Structure 1
């Protein structure tokens, strides 16, 4: 992941920490205020002239005591979140420092390569113009990769959804797959798109979908991290997911004679995996999320992305359209979807759905 992506994550994480600290402070102040009200009520009860007034003040003191205890618990909860965010912030800072050093090293190596190239160009200045033109034409011929263009076949999309646990970790992958299907079916070129939908996806679904249908697009929605992806197990009960490494996932996607054109990881912190996917030529295009993304943001992005693809837009335009949909909806995750591509392909000219001639 690039230094700019880490800076964006760090900025977002710092804001989360500050917001959590502010919440913790507000609840701590509320706790103090309620404790003061408890003391006042008890003091008034001890000074009351009638038993009825004393009981009323004692009941008020009990209510204030419960409110103070709840405020204290809320303060502890938010302080815990702030501590977690601080740890994540420190980890991101370390990764940012490492990425900046790596980029500086890359820049130095690039300058050295450019210097050597300039020297070679100077020594070759006496070559004939015809020879230079022939070399240029050869470079142009090989500049762009001949990727599989779905002109005579439908665009095949493998939709893998995984969310095996209940509670806070539960995701609405079924809703996402429904929104994607509706978006495609409403598009101009809907007849040129074929969806292979795999809810409650297991690793067997991944391999079966790759080898049987040879999809142009592999889409995953579920839980992930920098180097992990979580699938489901073959069971009907709620359960902990089956965690596989990013390398194992990449190996499964590569295990086909017709590799996909695009891998879209619509899951938290998955942008860390997309550079490997394009650099190791597993797919010329890959999209991932630069940080934790809200469920609704992920659903909105995916639906608009495939709507644009099925309307004949390029990968770049579909990506920008999906980000714009998040902004237009007032959602906060527009900067999280990240598009990566190999050096020898152009997302602005890569159109995945074209009508038959």
Structure 2
């Protein structure tokens, strides 16, 4: 969970603890009151000379003792709850501190990436200006890499999903992507290979046999790992694959993909290496991202691609979908591209008519 979720949960636990402490005090006061009433009834029974009156007062005293005991048990119960809530508060405070530290580090990494991207763009613009002085406009156009044309073949998208512990809705994400594509303008020009419990063999087989233009991974990751599933029918911790090993698998083909989309937490740290060594375009997440946010971004991204939009426009459309939904993860999806390609003019799906 992110720090905001931990803060909300911590606030809820605090309210529960305060309420439990209030209840404990109320029942403790009631216990004291009933004890006092029982003592008075005992004293009155001792002083009275009438046997029947004495019996009635003793009965009342016994009832007040029982009421006091019941109130005492309730007070103990609420004190126990308050103690448990206090322990949960401490645990949540620890997790909140860790989350805030992680988010601060992520923000700093994002700042550094943005600075690096700004520096890279500045250097590219400077180089372009120098080229324009030295070459004709036609020569400048040839600097851009000639990517595989999206026609006349269909755009092939390999959808890899892995949630070995069953805590992510990768099947839901793949369903939303398929639905988005099927509702788009160029739905007949896209072919999906969906692998919802993806292993490393699915990755290699998909790359070499399906020859995808786009590789999409949804699941768990970190700055330097991607977690695939193992070939087993029980819940398990998954198989960690290093970012370098994943990159080598992506590049191990005569026909490498045009785009890799890592729809997984903290995966943006891997995309610069991907566009540097394997593919023209890559998208990753700058921090932890909720299932709902990841699914919304992916569905809108592929809907835009299938409607003939450029890579950059599809990415911006996915971010816009998050902001329009009131989600707080608008800036988490990051698009990176090689220096010799332009995501603003690269269209993955075009009508051939």
TM-score of the pair, normalised by structure 1 = 0.80
Q: From 299, 305, 311, give the equivalent of 1:303.
A: 299
Q: Structure 2 residue aligned with 1:210, among 207, 211, 217? A: 207
- The offset of 1:202, in angstroms, is 0.2
Instruction: Indicate the residue corresponding to 1:328 in structure 2.
Output: 324
Matched, 1:277 2:279: no
Question: Is contact 2:160–2:198 with CA below 8 Å preserved after alignment?
Answer: yes
CA contact (8 A) 1:286 1:341 kept: yes
Whole-Å separation in 2 of the counterparts to 1:234 and 1:63: 52
Distance 2:326 2:273 in 1: 32
Deviation at 1:38, TM superposition (A): 4.0
The structure with more radius of gyration: 2
Q: Is 2:282 the counterpart of 1:293?
A: no
User: Hey, what does 1:345 align to over in structure 2?
Assistant: 341
CA distance in 1, matches of 2:120, 2:259: 30
SS state of the match for residue 233, structure 2?
Answer: coil
Q: Quick check: 1:20–1:79 contact (8 Å CA) kept in 2? A: no
| Alignment-derived partner of residue 124 in structure 1 | none
CA contact (8 A) 2:262 2:284 kept: yes
Matches within 5 A, 1:142-157: 142-157=142-157
Aligned to 1:244: 241
Cα distance in 2 for partners of 1:292, 1:116 equals 36
Q: Give the aligned length.
A: 330
Cα distance in 1 for residues equivalent to 2:4 and 2:74: 34
CA contact (8 A) 2:152 2:352 kept: yes
Aligned in 2, Cα 1:73/1:47: closer, same or farther, shift over 3 Å?
same
Query: Residue 265 of structure 2 corresponds to which residue in structure 1?
Result: 268
Q: In the TM superposition, what whole-angstrom CA distance separates every residue of 1:143-196 from its partner, at most 9, and x where no partner exists?
A: 322111211110000000111114xxx111111111111111111101000000
1: CA distance, partners of 2:214 / 2:76: 58
**1:353 positional shift:** 0.7
TM-score (norm 2): 0.81
Partner of 1:42: 31
Structure 1 position 76 matched with structure 2 position 87: yes
- Report the Cα distance in structure 2 between the residues aligned to 1:96 and 1:266, rounded to whole angstroms: 19
Partner in structure 1 of residue 158 of structure 2? 158
Name the CA shift for 1:142/1:52 in 2 (closer, same or farther; >3 Å).
Answer: farther
Q: Give the Cα separation in 2 of the matches to 1:268 and 1:217.
A: 19
Query: Where do 5+ consecutive residues of structure 1 fail to align?
Result: 1-11, 119-130
For 1:306, what is the secondary structure of its paired residue?
helix
Q: Decide whether aligned partners of structure 1 residues 261 and 113 sit closer, same or farther in structure 2, where only a CA change above 3 A counts.
A: closer
